[in-house]
Amino acid sequence: PKMIEIFNEVELDEVHPLNTKKLKAKKINIQNLALISKIQNLTYLNLSSNNIVDASPIRHLKKLNQLIICNNKVESLSFLVNLKQLEHLCIAGNQLSKMSELFLLKNTKIANLTLKCELIKPVNPICKFGFHKMALEKIQLPHLQIVDHQQFVEEAMDLSFLMSECQQMMAGIKNIESRIEIISGKVEVK
């Protein structure tokens, strides 16, 4: 079969692991991925909008090229380390909170990565201030072309842009500090 779409977790037991290359199992409240890990020939997997916390069984799907696992509760990208064929990853709307998780993408062929999408809430904690794009630039993923549905251009994150952003933030902090000092009576008004 070209594509199998599953509408409840019971149907997952009936998937023939040898023939299935594409599997869509979204919005079925799946939590345990043990059965999916046995479908070794998968090249496409859509597990969006479930309650997945532990995605580690996916690490066995070595032929996987496209993974959509948005709107779950995934906290770690460690399951991606052995997925050398993975080119498209959508993991928006999860619980990724450690920037170091992005370094686990280093040995992949990821060309299209979605960590944040305006249509998907909640936002991964690492994406709240946009620093995930700077981290991705530092990692230097050789195949990366699209991040969060936009062309990924390293020059766009140049030092002058960052300096400008930092200066604006510092000016705002100094303004707040001076207001606090005036309110607390620490500064004499002349």
Could you tell me which residue, 10 or 84, shows the higher pLDDT?
84
- The pTM for the full model equals 0.70
Task: Verify that 69 and 127 share a domain, yes or no.
Answer: yes
CATH number (domain holding residue 47): 3.80.10.10
* pLDDT higher than 80, residue 116: no
Q: Which domain holds residue 76?
A: 4-153
Task: For residue 118, give Cα distances in angstroms to 122, 124, 128.
Answer: 10, 11, 12
User: Beta-strand (E) ranges in the chain?
Assistant: 4-5, 22-24, 44-46, 66-68, 88-90, 112-114, 146-147, 150-151
User: What is the reported pLDDT for 156?
Assistant: 44
Predicted confidence (pLDDT) at residue 64 exceeds the cutoff of 90? yes
CB burial of residue 189 (10 Å; 0-12, 13-18, 19+): exposed
* Lookup result for tokens 């979605």: 114
Between CA 101 and CA 96 the distance in angstroms is 8
Average pLDDT taken over every residue of the chain: 78
Indicate whether 173 and 82 sit together in one domain: no
Q: Check whether residue 23 and residue 40 sit in a common domain.
A: yes
Return the top range by mean pLDDT from 29-38, 113-122, 149-158, 175-184: 29-38
Q: Are residues 31 and 98 in the same domain?
A: yes
Higher pLDDT among residues 131 and 104, named by residue = 104
Residues 169 and 99 in one domain: no
| Co-location of 149 and 162 in the same domain | no
- Tens of pLDDT, residue by residue over 8-49, are 766 666 666 667 899 999 998 888 898 888 888 999 999 999
What pLDDT, on the 0 to 100 scale, is given for residue 10?
61
pLDDT of residue 45: 95
How many distinct structural domains can be found in the chain? Answer: 2
More confident residue, 154 or 2: 2
- Cα angle value 132/135/139 (rounded, 5°): 135
- Residue 118's pLDDT band (boundaries 50, 70, 90)? low
* pLDDT number for residue 157: 47
If asked whether residues 122 and 37 sit together in one domain, one would say yes
Query: Are both 134 and 165 inside the same structural domain?
Result: no
Same domain, 113 and 133: yes
Tokens of 7: 């509408």
- Residue-level pLDDT at 187: 55
Question: Is it the case that residue 98 has pLDDT exceeding 90?
Answer: no
Mean pLDDT of 116-130: 66
Q: Do 143 and 86 share a structural domain?
A: yes
